[in-house]
Copies of this chain bind each other. A is one copy, B any other.
Amino acid sequence: MQDKQYLMMPGPTPVPPSVYAAMSRPVGGHRTDEFARMHKRIVEKLKRVFQTQNDIFVITNSGTGALETAIANTVSARDKVLALITGNFGERFANIARAYGAELIEVNFGYGKDVDLSVVEEKLRQNPDVKVVLATQNETSTGVCNDIAGIGALVARTPALLLVDGVSGVGAIEIKVDEWGIDMLCTASQKAFMLPPGLAMVSVSDKAWGVVNNNKAPRFYFSIPAFKKVLDKWNTAYTPNVTLFYGLEAALEMMEAEGLDNVYTRHALLARATRAAVKALGLRLLAEERYASNALTAVWGPEGIAADDLRKIIKNKYGVIFAGGQGEVKGKIIRIAHMGFADKMDVIIAVSALEMALAEAGYPVQLGAGIAAAQEVFLGRV
């Protein structure tokens, strides 16, 4: 039916009516006291999400722009960069460093695996001249959540900076920038922040500032020193997406009204229910449960049925939009997002659509079995 669409891909994610209402306000000027006051309020709220005292810059680009901002301000040609890769977005982070002329040490842990800390420790010992370490909090392509606290503890002992891609994780999965020693955390609006795409956020630690201020790579739109120069007046270096700032404030207010702990607990609950349902249907999860993401669940397509054919049935018959595989697992997996503006009934919709599509595709599914497993989780029985 027209207008009946259930967006369950890992970004863009659904936007709550309250956020749309805030965004429908007539656009105001960005060189005004009103904007400055809002900008300050937003950054104060973001600091509570990031758990940091560091500066946070809200910049007008998408997640990849946030990653490039981090690289452009810390990596110069021939700098040694250790890239910890667990999927497509880990590869992208490395590719951005490569574009800036980095000498890359890439460690690929494999699709569906998480970062092995002992390997990180060894690589750092073998390469004491590593300037920057790249890690992914929540690998969107596989639904793997890496141990950023563990990686942070290892990098903190070295002169290297830790740059973290938190694009699909921040706001869904707790992160502690200061306690875990994250020098730059990058995230974006269109995932757990419940906004349309167009804004990114980057934090910068004291340790990072020395490098940022002296980096040699060309930078202008992505220049953090340019952002910093105007931040004391709560100004932005270039024209910001004012409308998304309105939305971001509303979204952060929603998150605070729910309570950040409750937001994280909700994501954990939805993830557990989704995994329980998938297993009850006899399907296999891509990631091991001990490091499975709370924001997204990746599922192997069933034996003999193309994952993308299944996604097509799910979209065309039920209006539910899942993501497919990327990179090595292209065409082989289905990715179900449960991040941001998502609650129990979204999991119910996802599982029900999956059950019916499996039945149509000839998979021997017991209708309702996945739903029952999710319901058991919601009822607190398992």
Contacts and interface: CB of A to CB of B under 8 A. Distances in A.
Contact of A372 (B6, B348, B367, B379): B367
Contacts of A372: 366-368, 371
A179 interface: no
A344 B352 CA distance: 10
A375 B379 contact: no
How many interface residues does chain A have, given as a range? 35 or more
Contacts of A6: 345
A34 interface: no
Contact of A2 (B254, B349, B378): B254
The residue in A254, A343, A360 that gathers the most chain B C-beta atoms within 10 A of its C-beta is A343
Q: How many chain copies does the complex carry?
A: 2
Contacts of A345: 4, 6, 318-320, 349, 352-353
Contacts of A272: none
Nearest to A352: B348
Interface string A272-301: 000000000000000000000000000000
Interface string A352-377: 11011001100000111111100110
A82 to B, nearest CB: 39
B379 A352 contact: no
A314 to B, nearest CB: 11
Contacts of A17: 3
10 contacts: A1-B341, A2-B18, A4-B343, A24-B24, A318-B345, A320-B345, A345-B349, A359-B375, A367-B368, A368-B372
A-B residue pairs, 4 tightest by C-beta: A368-B368, A368-B372, A3-B16, A367-B372
